[in-house]
Amino acid sequence: MTNLSEEELGDLGRARQILEHPGVVVRLTDYLGLPVEGLLRRLPERARRAVADATRTALERSLDLALRSLERRSSRGVSDWLHRGVVATSGALGGAAGLPGLLLELPFSVTVMLRSIADHARAAGEDLTEVASQLECLTVFAYGSRRPGQGSESGYLAARLTLGRAVARASEFIAERGVAEALSEKSAPALAQLVGRIAQRLGTTVADKVAAQLVPLAGALGGATLNTLFIHHYQDTAWAHFTLRRLERMHGTSAVEDAYRATPLG
């Protein structure tokens, strides 16, 4: 018997639908009218490596941002449309410049998305003066990057268990060293493992987006549209992830996870 209210169960159901549904790839496929996987096969190996490197760089910069400035942001509420407008503009500029433009635009877009994720964290009651909460914002990029067809072992709760351990180790490392010293040692296992796990998941989705934006007809308009889909997806994922954490603080982790598993997917 759960103590969650009807409204809370409704939020939980919506959160599960978001977290277990690989929406971003489906949206890209629907937008283009052809499988993204087919586009990925057309990318030369050099371009794939460049995308992977750019993704890792973007996450490392976001790690800096998460630990140095997220806690200083004012609590002005969630500004989804503002952030969507910014990344749509950057996507248009990147899309007009081809692959080099896309790779330059990526770190900027990821930074804006992280700001938006932090807004959702605050709105759900997260204390962003805590290192663990700051790192939880970064993990949203992993939770929102699952492909269709992956089994239950790749689902949200399994991914969260694995990433939760990485967050705990990274938080302990930062507490021991201090933010400045820890960030100067990004190759340290505790930080490298966390960023690596997130990059592994996010990199696949970024490659989907880059491949889609390189379609000849995409151009600036396509870049703006795809970036809007991209940030909308991670804003939804942030809302869902931090909604579960809010409910867990109120009712306990076990109760919420049991209710989550019992909630049918639509």
Residues 161, 139: Cα–Cα separation, whole Å: 12
Token couple for 38? 């087919």
Task: Give phi and psi for 57, each to the nearest 5.
Answer: -60, -45
Residues 263, 17: Cα–Cα separation, whole Å: 9
- For residue 68, the model assigns a pLDDT of 84
Residues 81, 8: Cα–Cα separation, whole Å: 25
Token couple for 146? 């699952």
- For residue 29, the model assigns a pLDDT of 53
- For residue 96, the model assigns a pLDDT of 58
Cα–Cα–Cα angle for 21, 91, 200, nearest 5°? 45
- Who contacts 98 (Cβ-Cβ below 8 Å, separation ≥6)? 214
Q: Is the pLDDT of residue 39 over 70?
A: no
Each residue of 180-192: pLDDT tens digit? 898 888 888 999 9
Q: Which sign, positive or negative, has the C-alpha torsion 259, 248, 233, 64?
A: negative
Residues 71, 43: Cα–Cα separation, whole Å: 39
